[in-house]
Amino acid sequence: MLSKLRPAATLVASKAERSVTLRALSALNRVHLRAQATATNEAAKYGATGNTGLSQTSAADPKLKELLQPVDSFAPRHLGPSKAELADMCKTIGVKDLAELIEQTIPATVRRDLPLDLPDGLNLGEAGSLELLKSILSKNVIAKNYIGMGYHGSLVPSVVARNLLENPGWYTAYTPYQAEISQGRLESIFNFQTLVCELTGMEVANASLLDEGTAAAEAMAMIARTVNSKTKNQFFVSKDVHPQSIDVLKLRAKYFGMELIIGDHKSTDFTAMPKLCGALVQYPDTNGVLQDYSGMADTLHKNGAHLVVSADPLALVAVKPPSEFGADIVVGSMQRFGVPMWFGGPSAAYMATSKKQVRRMPGRLIGESIDRYGNAAYRLTLQTREQHIRLDKATSNVCTAQVLLANMAAMYAIYNRTSGLKRIAARVHGLAQLFASEIEKAGVKLATAGPFFDTVAFDASAVGAASLVEKLQAQGVNLRLLDDGLVSASFDESHVERDIGNLVGALKGAGVGGGSGSSSITVDGKVSADFARTKPFLQQKIFNSIYSETEMMRYMHCLQLKDLALDKSMISLGSCTMKLNSVSSLAPASWPEVANMHPFAPPSQTAGYVEMLESLEKFLVSVTGFSACSLQPTSGASGEYAGLLVIRKFLENKGEGHRNVCIIPRSAHGTNPASAAMCDMQIKWIEDSKGMDLKEFRALCETHKDNLAALMVTYPSTRGFFEDDIKEICDIVHEFGGQVYMDGANMNAQLGLTSPGLIGADVCHLNLHKTFSIPHGGGGPGLGPICVREHLAPHLPSHVVRKPSSGGSLGAVSAAPWGQAGIACIPWMFCTMLGAQGVTDSARYAILNANYMKARLEPHYNICATNGNNKCSHEFIMDLSDVRKSSGIGEEDIAKRLQDYGFHAPTMSWPVPHSLMVEPTESEDKGELDRFCDAMIAIRDEIRKVEDGTWPMDDNPLKMAPHTQAELCASEWTHPYSREVAAFPVPWLLQRGKFWPTVGRVDNSLGDRKLKLRLE
């Protein structure tokens, strides 16, 4: 096994950095450097150097070391351009080398000299990094889990694991903003929405949410938007809801202006609560009991309140759906539909409601429209609800879904079919029945007061409930401790009949039961008649037609072929960072040690997981230049929310809780104002189209000096350059009593070259699904941890069930202690395989690629303002207003025409109207960059033919794009341009293979007017 060195005591900053620190850095920045200088040296802890067992002479020979270095170094595989290409690209840009480019791009006042504290990737290689991670994770104990609480063992169909979860055609796709080249995953999510509607009995469902706890919080907020929340500002939560969901709701309610009342729904008089807007219950409840909420629903409705039900989807296969007892909103987690537990995530949460509430729903919706040929086509629907349109008035700050996991859940249902789902539910219930019967026969008293589905509570007071749970944990068996006298066991499809015998035997061995008794429970897999589902559901063909693995494989492959992902060509979406998602980074996510861990397993079983997570936190602390990190936020928007709450908590702690003004530049991501609004902040906008005017900014801060809480700023700017005055901007905020929140969306341009700590920020979130190589999955999952300065560390998120070592006073922002821990191995591998040099080179090459493309396209398009040296950061913006005016060709036409060239479009119309924002990332080689540039130049030539009248303004390759294979093969062709121009405008499409959009341009307005959100 790889040797490990003892951590070094200190890191010494260079003379140049000490000089900069003394001359220019604020007191906060000096704290940052001291923290960095005393950090644990991760490079030594996880390095590949150390005692090799060789003689001193051999060990010290540099030539021998070079000869014997691993040949599977990851950096050359991750970085696109070769050394020869690098020199050519620098020449095109007009700089002598990469160092000069960085000097002309990043202001000297914020350039970083201190190296990143990361493992020695050069001497580990890919295989060595995998071996190291395996050695860490081998400290985990994979136990038999009966904990439940919303997390269950599941059997992931191998055909789904191989052909979807581990398939780059699925996991490297982006959110389906370009519908014509996203029909595969759009169809799959449409299936998911249908599945949720059928299970819950509700009319509409969204494309998934982040986790069950936050889905419940979103439901509370949705109800507040439905009623008059000024007069109805109370929300009731049953004490029998899962504790992690209650934890999330407590924090969300506090800053949402909602009074949260937690109690016994059976004894609460809802008629005497005129301020109540809604209530949340669990079905089955957290103790496993099935309860009839119909009376409660009637009472709530008579008083103008709404019922939210958090429901187990597998239980809904067997028991009556919440729609039948009056639910207004149903939420839950689809994790047990073929998705691993992954130590808490990721998995797809769901939300379902009535049609009349659809415009108030958070998250994304997939709907059906038609294309220009009149054929059915899927698209993202009702996007005007989202943050990039409505900003602080948006329905939520949720800007993503859990698409990859929702697709897995949908495919699980398709694979098992309706009949198979019924059998699985009956089997799971049968296991619970068998256990309940066996322990009753052993003389154990059941504590489950009523019908149950998969969870059985029993009396353990004779031996002490806590003592019993601890004894069985030592044997690799995990039960749930309910209170001093009660324990519960929850069953799932991963359990088999012998597990019941083993569990009952273990209980007897621990002193529970051992006597004799009788049981009246019939083990038949049938739920109580009072709760049994009686009406047909999931009758759609897709859930009842695929029987063989062969056909299942072909169905998924058919959908995959409809989508353009990174396995086909570069995706240059600005501010999205569609970089390589390496196989070595992703492989550990499928290991049992990663996939099969319950988030509430005892610490004695999760030592390896925690070591990996805490070392990743240290990697991120080094990258950001901060002091502490929380991995709990599950997305970038979740990180924004958490970071702003940390600021609010800090200000409250120092007696300045009245500070609630948040300044946000006009170019900010739409989630910024949406997150600030969720934190009960007042938003003040400032123009920054050419950088923030310091005089105007100071005046704004001074105006609000008594209430200034924060500045939210993205660095480098979303307009594609590094703000020269960023340090002074941060200093002004601090001068007037505020804190600086840095949006980490553009962190890919900072890695190792500068840091949030150096610019003067206090907290930032990181998009690990962008910067640190977690794949986008077609629209999720993500991971949005926050890093903070030392003074904010005491206020980081915590958790009611298990407190992470970083946990502070804030409370939970996600359902699981470490958020989506199952994909944390991906950024861990990214940092470890690349090491300090490779991670820093990632930023250098990202800046190189962007400036090379800018230089090539500048003669043909109007490039928006960059810095004083005419250099962009890792992305740049092309303003198409002049093209639109001269030809009638808009950014959407160019985006659709790019599909004919085999490319996904850059980001459209943000942050500049009528623009395209291009971000190539570091992973694309010069050849691919040139192909994209050649395509854009060819499109500009096509536009000139519209401008000069060669082609009509309403019938040309851009207005008609994209062109499908069906249209090209039709006998009739009426356009004034040839079929070859339409489909094969450049030679490489014949040489490298043509990607065919399967539908024509989709009618967006029709899809919003005539909503169809599920299969009938």
Residue-wise pLDDT tens digits, 505-544: 999 999 998 788 899 999 999 999 999 999 999 999 999 9
pLDDT, mean of residues 672-699: 93
| Mean pLDDT, range 462-479, rounded to an integer | 97
Mean pLDDT over residues 139-144, rounded?
Answer: 96
Beta strands in 247-363 (DSSP E): 259-263, 276-283, 306-311, 329-333, 349-353
CA distance 815 to 269: 29
Distances (CA, A) of 174 to 214, 334, 577, 587, 864: 23, 21, 10, 20, 25
> Which of 249, 254, 255 shows the shortest CA–CA distance to 220?
249
Per-residue CA distances from 578 to 775, 823, 895 (Å): 8, 17, 17
- pLDDT score of 516: 85
Q: Is the pLDDT of residue 735 over 70?
A: yes
Are 721 and 865 contacting, i.e. CB atoms less than 8 angstroms apart?
yes
Evaluate the omega torsion of the peptide bond into residue 665 and state whether it is cis, within 30 degrees of 0.
Answer: no
How much is the pLDDT for 40? 46
Tell me the CB-side half-sphere exposure of residue 378, using CA atoms within 13 A: 24
CA-CA distance, 875 to 854, in Å (whole number)?
9
Report the run of H or E that residue 258 belongs to, with start and end.
none
The C-alpha atoms of residue 801 and residue 330 are separated, in whole angstroms, by: 24
Q: Give the C-alpha separation, 570 to 552, whole Å.
A: 28
Q: What are phi and psi of 1006, to 5 degrees?
A: -65, -40
**pLDDT at position 5 over 80:** no
In angstroms, rounded to a whole number, what is the distance separating the alpha carbons of residues 987 and 990?
6
Count the Cβ atoms, other than its own, within 10 Å of residue 366: 31
pLDDT tens string 839-883:
999 999 999 999 999 999 999 999 998 899 999 999 999 999 999
Query: For 442-521, where are the alpha helices, taking DSSP H only?
Result: 465-474, 497-509
pLDDT, tens digit, 9 for 90 and up, residues 551-561: 999 999 999 99
Over residues 268-315, the pLDDT tens digits come to: 999 999 999 999 999 999 999 999 999 999 999 999 999 999 999 999
Question: What backbone torsions phi and psi does residue 360 show, to the nearest 5 degrees?
Answer: -95, -5
Of 748, 794, 750, 753, give the one whose Cα is nearest residue 773.
748
> 54 or 496: which carries more pLDDT confidence?
496
The whole-number average pLDDT for the span 149-163 is 98
Distances (CA, A) of 105 to 601, 714, 945: 48, 16, 36
Work out the pLDDT band at 384, boundaries 50, 70, 90: low
What pLDDT score does 26 carry?
40
258-271 per-position pLDDT tens digit: 999 999 999 999 99
Q: Tokens for 947? A: 């401008």
Q: Is the pLDDT of residue 243 over 90?
A: yes
Residue 823 pLDDT more than 70? yes
The rounded distance, in Å, linking the Cα atoms of 740 and 643 is: 10
Q: For 633-668, what is each residue's pLDDT tens digit?
A: 999 999 999 999 999 999 999 999 999 999 999 999
Radius of gyration of the chain from its Cα atoms, rounded to whole angstroms:
29
Please state, in angstroms and rounded to a whole number, the distance separating the CA atoms of residues 681 and 616.
Answer: 31
Percent composition of the chain: helix, strand, coil (DSSP 3-state, to 5): 45, 10, 45
Q: Given this model, what pLDDT does residue 41 score?
A: 61
What's the pLDDT at 450?
86
Looking at residue 13, the DSSP 8-state letter turns out to be P
Tell me the mean pLDDT in the region 770-779: 95
Tell me which of 29 and 82 has the higher pLDDT. 82
Does residue 36 carry a pLDDT above 50? no
State whether residue 540 is helix, strand or coil.
Answer: coil
pLDDT for residue 43: 59
Mean pLDDT calculated for residue range 409-430 = 98
- In this prediction, residue 900 carries a pLDDT of 98
Q: What is the pTM of this model?
A: 0.94
Look-up: residue for tokens 């066991």? Answer: 489
- Per residue in 84-138, pLDDT (tens digit) is 999 999 999 999 999 999 999 999 999 999 999 999 998 999 999 999 999 999 9
Arithmetic mean of pLDDT over the chain: 93
* pLDDT at residue 15 tops 50: no
**Which pLDDT does position 391 carry in this prediction?**
63
* Per-residue pLDDT, 64: 87
33 torsion bin: left (phi>0), alpha (psi -120 to 50), beta (else): alpha
pLDDT range class, residue 44, cuts 50, 70, 90 = low
pLDDT classification of 753: cutoffs 50, 70, 90: very high
